[in-house]
C-alpha cells in the first residue's frame, strides 16, 4: 500500500499527496531509494519513521526493554517447567508420569497464543480479578503474557529434553555411574543433564527467534508496549523505514542467539572446544 494515502487519506488533494511523497523520498526510483537505505545502514542510520517522526533506532531502543522483559520471563518460565518435566518423563519412561508429562507437553504445543491469551484474561483478569487485563507496570502485568508466550515453548523444550535424556541413558558411562552408587542429585546434574544439554541449547537458540514472532501476537493481545506492537503498527501504517528496521533487528537477534548457542556448547561440553582446537 501507499503510506501517503494512509497518512493523508484517500480524499486528500493530489498536490498534497505529491508534496508529502517528495518530502518522504518516495518519488525517487527504487534503486536510488535502496542505495540511500544501504548508505544509511552502513552509518547505523535506519532513517526516520513516517508515522512517529522519530529515528527508527530510537523507537526500537525504546521498545526493546519491554520485549526483552517479556521474552526473558517466558523463557525462564518455560525452562522451569520443561526441565523437571522432561527429566522426570525420561527417568520414568513408559509410566503414568511419562504419559502425563507428554500429554501436558502436547497440550502446551497445541494451544495457540491468540486463543490462550484471551482465555487467561477472561478467567484470571475478568472473572477472578487476580491480574491486570493489559499494559505494562509491575510484576502482575507480566504474569499472563509470560504464561501465554512461554506455554508452547515449555512443551517443545520438555519433549526435546526427554528425547535427549533418553539418548544419554543408553550410554555406557551411565551404567558405570549407577554402579558407583553416586548420589541421585549429582547423577542427574553431572552425568545425565550436562551431556543432554547440547541439543537443548540448540533448540533454545532457535526458539528465541520464535519468541519474537510469538511476541507480536502476545503483545497485541495484552497491549504490551514492545517491539511486537511497534512492528504491527508499522505494518498497518505502511511505515516502511520502521518495518525495515524491525526486520533487521529480528534478523540480528536471531543470528546473535545462534552465536551464543555455539559459545555455550564449549562451556557445557569441553569436547566441543577440544575438537575445535584440534
pLDDT digits (tens, 9 = 90+) for 22-74: 888 888 888 888 898 889 888 888 889 988 889 999 999 999 999 989 999 99
pLDDT by residue (tens digit) across 182-226? 766 676 666 677 777 778 887 887 787 778 777 888 999 998 999
E-strand spans in 141-216?
A: none
Q: What is residue 55's DSSP assignment? A: B
Query: Taking 60 as the threshold, does the pLDDT of residue 275 lie above it?
Result: no
- Distance, in Å, from the CA atom of 114 to the CA atom of 249, rounded to the nearest integer, reads 24
The grid cell for 81 is 517447567
Q: Mapped to the 3 state alphabet, what secondary structure does 163-179 carry?
A: HHHHHHHCCHHHHHHHH
Exposed (0-12), middle (13-18) or buried (19+): which is 250, by Cβ within 10 Å? Answer: middle
Q: What is the pLDDT of residues 105-123, one digit of tens each?
A: 999 999 888 899 999 999 9
Q: Whole-angstrom Cα distance, residue 94 to residue 153? A: 23
| DSSP 3-state of 230 | helix
* Rg value, the chain, Cα: 24
What's the confidence (pLDDT) of residue 178? 67
What integer pLDDT is reported at residue 168 of this predicted model? 80
For range 81-86, the mean pLDDT: 91
Reduced to 3 states, what is the DSSP secondary structure of residue 30?
helix
**Distance between CA 167 and CA 195 in Å, rounded?**
10
Q: Round the average pLDDT of the chain to a whole number and report it.
A: 85
Domains in the chain, CATH or no CATH each? 3-42 (no CATH), 62-224 (1.10.3720.10)
Amino acid at each position: 500500500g501507499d503510506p501517503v494515502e494512509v497518512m493523508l487519506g484517500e480524499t486528500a488533494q493530489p498536490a498534497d499527496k505529491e508534496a508529502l511523497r517528495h518530502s518522504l523520498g518516495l518519488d525517487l526510483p527504487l534503486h536510488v531509494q535502496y542505495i540511500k537505505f544501504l548508505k544509511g545502514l552502513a552509518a547505523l542510520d535506519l532513517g526516520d519513521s513516517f508515522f512517529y517522526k522519530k529515528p527508527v533506532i530510537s523507537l526500537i531502543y525504546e521498545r526493546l526493554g519491554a520485549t526483552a522483559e517479556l521474552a526473558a520471563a517466558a523463557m525462564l518460565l518455560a525452562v522451569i517447567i520443561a526441565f523437571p518435566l522432561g527429566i522426570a518423563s525420561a527417568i520414568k519412561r513408559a509410566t503414568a508420569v511419562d504419559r502425563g508429562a507428554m500429554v501436558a507437553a502436547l497440550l502446551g504445543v497445541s494451544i495457540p497464543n491468540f486463543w490462550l491469551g484471551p482465555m487467561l484474561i477472561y478467567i484470571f483478569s475478568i472473572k477472578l480479578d487476580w491480574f491486570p487485563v493489559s499494559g505494562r507496570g509491575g510484576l502482575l502485568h507480566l504474569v499472563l503474557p509470560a504464561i501465554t508466550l512461554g506455554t508452547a515453548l515449555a512443551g517443545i523444550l520438555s519433549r526435546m529434553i526427554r528425547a535427549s535424556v533418553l539418548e544419554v541413558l543408553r550410554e555406557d558411562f551411565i551404567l558405570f555411574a549407577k554402579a558407583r552408587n553416586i548420589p541421585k542429585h549429582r547423577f542427574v546434574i553431572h552425568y545425565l543433564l550436562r551431556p543432554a544439554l547440547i541439543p537443548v541449547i540448540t533448540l533454545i537458540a532457535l526458539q528465541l527467534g520464535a519468541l519474537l514472532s510469538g511476541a507480536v501476537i502476545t503483545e497485541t493481545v495484552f497491549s504490551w508496549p514492545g517491539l511486537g506492537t511497534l512492528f504491527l503498527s508499522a505494518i498497518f501504517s505502511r511505515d516502511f523505514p520502521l518495518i525495515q528496521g524491525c526486520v533487521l533487528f529480528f534478523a540480528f537477534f536471531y543470528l546473535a542467539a545462534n552465536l551464543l548457542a555455539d559459545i555455550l556448547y564449549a562451556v557445557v561440553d569441553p569436547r566441543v572446544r577440544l575438537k575445535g582446537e584440534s
